[in-house]
Structure 1
């Protein structure tokens, strides 16, 4: 049974359509995160030492371009329809994410756009909100191109780091994904703390200035 699954995984990983599947998943993940696209990139990169011949350059390029394309779709959907037109947009979790993204974009737009891709669900909220708040398209695109490149490279590096640790394909993929999840939670914690402190400093600055002026 396990051998059959392993053979099926290897067959899919080496299929002609797999690179385009990576592109499509990364594209869709930019505005509708059904499947974490980084998991596919990490899994393929983890098989690059001995299991299959993975072209990491092509994997990076398609993941990068797909991610940027998906983010563009999210930006323009947000710009066209806003972030509250549909019922799912008005759920508590979505409204909370959008509210946090709107506040962060207003004070630390560059930092938010370049880091949100590494927060689960954060990139979609930021992409939609950037469009809805009319954040300058050229600036959003420039920052997103850099962010998506870092994201694709880091996903590949995680998989490549674990490549060759196990002969068994399923164990190899499982190990790479577990490490990716651990690193993801770590990045999520650090980035949110950094953004929270940045926003707190921005909010406290006017109060401090006002107090100083009153004293003088």
Structure 2
């Protein structure tokens, strides 16, 4: 069932990936992904990379579309946190786990700084909490924009190039190219999360 859905989707990709407006799709989905974690931003950029590898798109334009969309989206998330600080805090107070995640994110921002924004970009859901909490805690806007610009550039380049490599390798099979790129991206994210969890665990044990 899932295989059929993926196959149908990637087959449709061949029909519209060469159009100029496909870049707008990448931009829009990357933007929404920054605010609504359920939106497949990274997946769409990977698909763009696969299309570029097959010769249907420009890799550079795919990266620019993904990075720009993510940059705008992250800044919107910051603005939501900044302009609706009271509302966000009341929302967080409704459930202890929400409050814990928001307070934890604010603590980590002060502790680890901009590098955390880069790391969080590769964690679905985590990046939204972090960008919103940056606004809630009134982190300097220029500082935030500087690090987010670096984060989204790395993120979009990573996802697009990953798709491009497999798209180039399997030009005649978009489905296989996408599945391999997606699984690779998922595996790398899982490894990063595991390393981070083990490191935090060691620090907690040492403390």
The TM-score with structure 1 as length reference comes to 0.80
Is 1:123 the equivalent of 2:127? yes
**In structure 2, what is the Cα distance between the partners aligned to 1:20 and 1:96?**
36
SS at match of 1:176: helix
Look up the match of 1:212.
none
**In structure 1, what is the Cα distance between the partners aligned to 2:34 and 2:10?**
29
SS at match of 2:52: coil
Look up the match of 2:60.
57
Question: Of the candidates 177, 192, 196, which is equivalent to residue 182 of structure 2?
Answer: 177
RMSD: 2.8
Pick closer, same or farther for the CA change 1:144–1:191 going to 2, 3 Å: farther
Bigger radius of gyration among the two: 1
Contact 1:104 1:199 in 2 (8 A): no
Look up the match of 1:105.
109
Pick closer, same or farther for the CA change 1:58–1:125 going to 2, 3 Å: same
Report the alpha carbon displacement of residue 65 of structure 1 after superposing the two structures with TM.
1.0
Look up the match of 1:210.
none
The TM-score with structure 2 as length reference comes to 0.83
Greater displacement, 161-170 / 66-75: 161-170
Question: Of the candidates 10, 13, 30, which is equivalent to residue 9 of structure 1?
Answer: 13
Is 1:75 the equivalent of 2:78? yes
Look up the match of 2:150.
146
Look up the match of 1:208.
none
Pick closer, same or farther for the CA change 1:106–1:193 going to 2, 3 Å: farther
Report the alpha carbon displacement of residue 15 of structure 1 after superposing the two structures with TM.
3.0
Pick closer, same or farther for the CA change 1:193–1:64 going to 2, 3 Å: farther
**In structure 2, what is the Cα distance between the partners aligned to 1:66 and 1:12?**
20
**In structure 1, what is the Cα distance between the partners aligned to 2:140 and 2:116?**
14
Look up the match of 2:141.
137
Moved over 6 A (4+): 1-4
Report the alpha carbon displacement of residue 190 of structure 1 after superposing the two structures with TM.
2.8
Task: Give the length in aligned residue pairs.
Answer: 200
Report the alpha carbon displacement of residue 12 of structure 1 after superposing the two structures with TM.
2.7
Pick closer, same or farther for the CA change 1:191–1:143 going to 2, 3 Å: farther
Pick closer, same or farther for the CA change 1:131–1:171 going to 2, 3 Å: same
Unaligned 5+ runs, structure 1: 205-216
SS at match of 2:90: coil
